Chain A
């Protein structure tokens, strides 16, 4: 009688075959596809909102090697969306938390940790060893840095970005495809950037968008399906609408065009106008009279009742406030007459961190308010130094 012998495919153990069985029986993937996933290495820049679904699903899928770049520590406010981390991880490095979670999902994944900020000095060396880079960062300078480094090293860049309820996904950095600069040649100047009050995001959004990103990574590695090369997927979670736009490779692109002028990584902070904006802001608010939270507290303790003005948005006021009347800074010019009684009296203006309130003080002074003063550091400083029960956001 013949004996049946079981042959295990080289490269995957019996345990792995059981683990990935639902992939193995997919005609488009199969054993060969799974071996491609195992042979692949992916660098995740950012282990936060987008990095969470990326890490979770790429580990589950059996990507052979995952590199993670992050220098942050898990904060309570991350848990609303960064599902890679849990309550027990608050205070731990995100990389440590991520590594533990990845190993729990799939011990076969090799994890490389880079507890550093991605910079022009290290980006090429960090990205080069990997087959794919997945950009999950939260600022423009790093977007352009990852983009340029991906093109210069010939590493495809699976891009995604989010803001409040919207997301974008595409695949850049392939030989014949466009790069991020083909889509957005110039970053927004920091002056137009929303303020502290506008950094909110629906918790599930990075989950949706990051999972779409992970999908493109898997398709890229396995060589299946139609990739978002030359296409930009727009996600509008509020309207629940998905839209695809064409992205053309720009022959004049300074990085990936026919005659590139950017052949080395540059200073991306300067490219995005950040030092200039910071200097301008400093100059603009330099001569604004201020009072510290300590000084204000001492005066309140002595029984004084100075007039306080809150210039934040109503949503912020609802979270925490110092019991002052509220006139949002962008409405102030139109509503100064409401403060007519205080034209020659002290008005202590505050906001979240002291920047909008400094601008408000300048505006009030320009309207003849001689006693306008800025509360240095805003409610954040109040929470840090005076009353820790005041919620920071």
Chain B
């Protein structure tokens, strides 16, 4: 059985673009948020450390949205993606002194 995986655009926040060859948008294949993020990290392995903590858990200060909804309020990484959905990665920022 062949399935065509959904193609989703992932919006990369400025601080992480250094790890995606400066692309602000990366198209990946994946039927769920988890699959799409895995595909992203496969293509851009330096993102692994910035997005995931030990044990492969998404870092708590990195929010992920499907269109405008936080995945915490959807199905987290199991959230299914449809054609045309946009995935946004939004880390916490606080200015220059942290």
Interface residue ranges, A against B (CB under 8 Å): 49-50, 137-140, 143, 161-168, 183-188, 190, 192-194, 198-201, 232, 234, 236, 238-239, 243-248
Contacts and interface: CB of A to CB of B under 8 A. Distances in A.
Contact of A162 (B60, B63, B92, B93): B93
Contacts of B95: 49-50, 137-139, 161-163, 201
Contacts of A162: 93, 95
Interface of B: 11, 13-15, 24, 50, 59-61, 63, 65, 68-70, 73, 88, 90-98
B98 A186 contact: no
B97 A139 contact: yes
Nearest to A143: B94
A245 B88 contact: yes
Given A162-B93, A164-B15, A184-B60, 8 more contacts: A138-B98, A161-B93, A166-B14, A183-B63, A184-B63, A186-B60, A188-B98, A247-B70
Contacts, number: 89
B12 to A, nearest CB: 10
Among B14, B59, B94, B97, chain A packs the most CB atoms within 10 A around the CB of: B94
A126 B96 CA distance: 24
Nearest to B92: A184
Contact of A248 (B13, B73, B91): B73
B94 A163 contact: yes
Nearest to B91: A188
The 10 closest A-B pairs by CB, nearest first: A138-B95, A163-B93, A199-B96, A186-B60, A138-B97, A188-B61, A139-B97, A184-B92, A193-B98, A140-B94
Given A163-B15, A194-B15, A138 B88 contact: no
12 contacts: A140-B94, A161-B95, A163-B94, A164-B15, A166-B15, A184-B60, A187-B61, A188-B59, A188-B61, A190-B98, A192-B50, A234-B88
Nearest to A186: B60
Contacts of A199: 96-97
A163 B14 CA distance: 9
Nearest to A165: B14
A244 B61 contact: no
A372 B88 CA distance: 43
B94 A246 contact: no
